[in-house]
C-alpha cells in the first residue's frame, strides 16, 4: 500500500486498521540510511514528522508527549546534573531536559545523523535551538553500543525516546532485559530511566512487556499513560528507578522544584500526576520479558 497517495497520507496503525490524513503541504519526503522520513503538514495534526510510516511528532501535541516522557523522572530526581538521551532525533526531548537549571550536561545519542540534519533544516519548531546549547553533546552511534562502552554510574537520568520496536527496525534491541541491565549499570546510585512504552492497548502487548522487562532489572518501576491525539491512542511510559519513586514526591515539593529550577511547562503539572499514574484495571495484564533472543515487536 502506498502511504502517500495524491493528497493523502495513510498511516497503518495495526493489522486491519489505518488512518487517512489530508496532506496540506510537503516539506520533505525521502530516506536516510536507517529509515524513511516524511515531514508533512497534515489535516488535524499540523506539521508532522513521520518515520517508517509512523507519526512521531506533530505540532498539535508534541509538547504533551515530550513533557510527559521527560518531566516526571527529571522532577523526581532531586539533583539531575548529567542526563543521557537515547534517540529523540527531533531534539524535543533534549529541549525538555534543558529546562532544568540543575543540568550540567546532556549527552544525546542517535544512530541517524541524516535525520537530525533534516530536522535542523525542515523542522526547527521541535528542537527550538536545543542542539546549539553548550550543555549538549551529540553522539551519532547505536544507542546500545554507546551505553555498553560507558563507565558505570555516569548518568543521573536516562531518557529512552526511541522509535517503535518494529521488526527489522533500528530500535528492537533497545527494549530488552539485556539493554535495560546496561542502562542500570550506567546510572548513578540514585539514577532513573524514563522510557516511551508504546500504545497501552497494542495487540502485541508491547507496553505490558516493556513494563515487565524493566521490572526484571529495576527495584522501583511505575507505569503511566496519557492520550496523544497524533497517535490516536492512550500512550504508555515507564520509569525504572534505583531509589526514588515518583509517587512519593508530594505535589507541594514538585511545584517547589519546578519553580526553583525555572521549568516552563505547557501541559504537565503536579496536580495531573495522579491521573497519569492511575492506570485502569487490566492495563498491565499480559506481556512477557523481552530478551535479545526473543525480543518484543510493535504491531
Quote the pLDDT of residue 298. 80
Please tell us whether the domain made up of 62-277 is placed in CATH 3.30.70.360.
Answer: no
pLDDT tens sequence across 227-251: 999 999 999 999 999 999 999 999 9
pLDDT at 4 over 60: no
Please indicate whether the domains covering 4-57 and 62-277 agree at the CATH topology level.
Answer: no
Q: CA-to-CA distance for 196 and 239, rounded, in angstroms?
A: 9
Mean pLDDT over 158-171 rounds to 88
User: By the 8 A CB rule, do 83 and 108 touch?
Assistant: no
pLDDT at 73 over 60: yes
Quote the pLDDT of residue 107. 98
pLDDT band at residue 5 under the 50/70/90 scheme: low
Cross-strand bridge partners of residue 86: 109, 160
Mean pLDDT over 44-59 rounds to 94
Q: CA-to-CA distance for 127 and 138, rounded, in angstroms?
A: 13
Quote the pLDDT of residue 129. 95
Interior angle at CA 30, CA 28 and CA 33, nearest 5: 135
pLDDT at 281 over 90: no
3 state SS of 148: helix
pLDDT band at residue 1 under the 50/70/90 scheme: very low
pLDDT band at residue 181 under the 50/70/90 scheme: very high
The sign of the torsion formed by the CA atoms of 121, 142, 51, 72 equals negative
Q: Kindly report the backbone phi and psi dihedral angles of residue 103, in degrees, each rounded to the nearest multiple of 5, phi listed first.
A: -75, 125
DSSP letters, 36-90, are EEEEEEETTTEEEEEETTEEEEETTTHHHHHHHHHHHHHHHSSS--EEEEEE-TT
CA distances from 299 to 159, 166, 183, 209 (A): 23, 7, 25, 13
Q: CA-to-CA distance for 19 and 99, rounded, in angstroms?
A: 34
Q: CA-to-CA distance for 13 and 299, rounded, in angstroms?
A: 8
Q: CA-to-CA distance for 93 and 96, rounded, in angstroms?
A: 5
**Residues 6 or more apart whose Cβ sits within 8 Å of residue 268:** 67, 68, 71, 72
Instruction: Tell me the pLDDT of the chain averaged across its residues.
Output: 94
pLDDT band at residue 299 under the 50/70/90 scheme: low
Choose the weakest-confidence range: 66-75, 80-89, 122-131, 194-203: 194-203
Q: Where are the domains of the chain?
A: 4-57, 62-277
Q: Would residue 142 show up in a list of annotated catalytic residues for this protein? A: no
- Assigned C-alpha cell, 241: 528507578
User: By the 8 A CB rule, do 205 and 286 touch?
Assistant: yes
Please tell us whether the domain made up of 4-57 is placed in CATH 1.10.630.10.
Answer: no
**Residues 6 or more apart whose Cβ sits within 8 Å of residue 188:** 153, 154, 155, 156, 242
Q: Kindly report the backbone phi and psi dihedral angles of residue 116, in degrees, each rounded to the nearest multiple of 5, phi listed first.
A: -65, -40
Residue 40 DSSP symbol: E
Q: CA-to-CA distance for 88 and 80, rounded, in angstroms?
A: 19
pLDDT at 189 over 60: yes
**Residues 6 or more apart whose Cβ sits within 8 Å of residue 282:** none
Whether pTM exceeds 0.85: yes
Element housing 253 (H / E):
helix 251-261
> Active-site residue among 52, 112, 156, 161?
161
Amino acid at each position: 500500500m502506498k502511504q502517500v497517495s495524491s493528497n493523502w497520507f495513510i498511516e497503518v496503525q495495526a493489522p486491519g486498521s489505518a488512518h487517512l490524513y489530508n496532506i496540506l503541504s510537503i516539506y520533505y519526503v525521502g530516506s536516510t540510511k536507517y529509515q524513511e522520513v516524511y515531514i508533512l503538514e497534515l489535516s488535524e495534526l499540523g506539521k508532522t514528522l513521520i518515520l517508517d510510516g509512523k507519526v512521531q511528532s506533530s505540532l498539535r501535541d508534541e509538547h504533551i508527549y515530550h513533557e510527559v516522557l521527560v518531566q516526571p523522572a527529571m522532577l523526581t530526581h532531586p539533583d539531575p546534573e548529567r542526563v543521557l538521551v537515547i534517540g529523540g532525533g527531533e531534539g524535543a526531548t533534549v529541549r525538555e531536559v534543558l529546562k532544568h537549571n540543575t543540568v550540567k550536561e546532556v549527552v544525546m545519542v542517535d544512530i541517524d545523523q541524516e535525520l537530525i540534519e533534516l530536522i535542523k533544516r525542515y523542522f526547527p519548531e521541535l528542537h527550538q535551538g536545543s542542539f546549539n546549547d553548550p550543555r549538549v553533546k551529540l553522539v551519532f552511534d547505536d544507542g546500545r553500543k554507546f551505553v555498553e562502552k560507558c563507565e558505570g554510574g555516569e548518568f543521573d537520568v536516562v531518557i529512552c525516546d526511541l522509535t517503535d520496536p518494529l521488526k527489522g527496525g533500528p530500535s528492537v534491541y533497545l527494549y530488552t532485559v539485556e539493554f535495560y541491565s546496561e542502562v542500570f549499570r550506567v546510572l548513578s546510585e540514585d539514577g532513573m530511566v524514563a522510557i516511551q512504552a508504546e500504545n497501552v492497548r497494542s495487540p502485541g502487548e508491547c507496553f505490558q512487556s516493556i513494563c515487565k522487562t524493566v521490572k526484571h532489572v529495576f527495584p522501583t518501576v511505575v507505569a503511566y499513560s496519557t492520550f496523544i491525539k497524533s497517535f490516536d491512542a492512550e500512550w504508555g511510559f515507564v520509569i525504572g528507578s534505583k531509589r526514588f519513586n515518583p509517587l512519593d514526591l508530594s505535589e507541594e515539593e514538585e511545584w517547589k522544584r519546578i519553580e526553583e529550577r525555572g521549568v516552563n511547562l505547557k501541559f504537565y503539572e503536579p496536580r495531573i500526576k495522579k491521573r497519569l499514574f492511575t492506570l485502569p484495571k487490566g492495563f498491565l495484564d499480559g506481556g512477557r520479558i523481552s530478551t535479545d533472543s526473543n525480543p518484543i515487536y510493535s504491531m
